[in-house]
Amino acid sequence: MLVANPRAVRAPYPAELKSLMSIERAQESRLWLSPWPELARGATPLYELPDLAAKLNVARISVKDESVRSPLGSFKALGAPIALVRQVLRLHPDLDPAALLTGRHAEMLKDYTVISATDGNHGRGLAAAARSVGCRCVIVLHANVSLEREQAIAVHGARIVRIAGNYDESVEEAARLAAAHGWQVVSDTSYDGYEDIPRDVMQGYATIAAEIVEQTGAVANEAGAFTHVFLQGGVGGLAAGLASYLWEHHGAQRPCFIVVEPRQADCLFQSALQGRAAKATGSVDSVMAGLACGETSPLAWRFLQPGIDAFMTIEDGAAVQAMRVLAAGSGRDIPIVAGESGVAGLAGLLALRRDAAWSQQVGLDECSRVLLISTEGATAPAVYEELVGEPADAVLKRQAAWLAR
């Protein structure tokens, strides 16, 4: 399903949004994150896929590969850590922010506890950051989070709490536990009276956009390398973080932004239809575990309502197909390991190019230059192997051979 957003605007980045998230604040976050040992020292790769572009009859397809951002395997390594740093600074403003993630103030913070609900990657990022900072961490997991993802979080020393419900119920349980024990919620979704930390999480994601600007030589207030940018849905945090940065940089010449989410977790699609932050209409259970969210973040929606041009939903099978397309590679296209949530943008692009009316609706044609964000690698290796039909290590071996040619 596709819906054009009638509330999207082509204008300079609004001052009221800039007061919440800005390029200046994003660059500050990059600086504070840079000493963290869990992050790669350089920018993640921006790969070109000329064979796929030719097959889909577009001028260019580029993929930003976030699987190598961190040993944690996803872009979430940019959000929770900077949110934790900023929250500690609210309590102790005299501390050196760049020193927090290196553990210099661990003794002071040993009795401080943070908590969050997660589908996997956010909790893994928060657990790793808490261990580095020196504080305690509790992670609430819902019934559909795999044991493999639970173990990947627990290895960082977090205490795991399991509930029987879905993601949104795990968010409620995390808030209840925090209130009962005096713990601090560090979540990527906002709710009434809770916006500062989700904003910090979203601002951390803007590092991806900053690198794209640098990698493509984009000039401020001019059209950039890409006409269309596909972004994952979820609660809206990633889309808001990247779209806000690129909107501020390009101004009225910003690219067309398209947000993609699972059909059964269509909270952003429903928000576009209703003109307000809304809930999903489906079961929320999706193979795209990181996007299986039932409620739109109201804070993220403040950026998405004026900044996103179209919203679409995809079936789980489309995501699996997209995983296999990236894994296969070709003569000119590098094989890429992309997890089930990481391929939503490509799945959306494939769906659009199969439908001439949809392509026309978003201005997608043979001259279009498309940017995709592969937000995660094989963060659940067994799930990846089951869906793709080969282990991630085999794909990485073929990738290494492709690069060595």
Q: Which residues form the catalytic set? A: 76, 119
- Position of tokens 């809930």? 279
CA distance 344 to 71: 22
**Which residues have C-beta within 8 Å of that of residue 401, sequence separation ≥ 6?**
none
CA distance 32 to 327: 34
- Residue type, position 208, single letter: I
Buried-exposed string 229-238: b where 16+ CB fall within 10 A, e elsewhere: bbbbbbbbbb
**Which residues have C-beta within 8 Å of that of residue 355, sequence separation ≥ 6?**
2
**DSSP letter for each residue of 305-355:** HHH-SEEEEE-HHHHHHHHHHHHH--SSS------TTTTHHHHHHHHHHT-
- Residue type, position 388, single letter: V
**Which residues have C-beta within 8 Å of that of residue 63, sequence separation ≥ 6?**
46, 47, 49, 326, 336, 346, 371, 372, 373, 374
- The beta-strand segments (E) located in 22-112 are 46-48, 60-65
Q: How far is CA 89 from CA 85, 93, 206, 326, in A?
A: 6, 4, 20, 41
- Position of tokens 């990181």? 290
| Residue 12 Ramachandran class (φ > 0 left, ψ -120 to 50 alpha, else beta) | beta
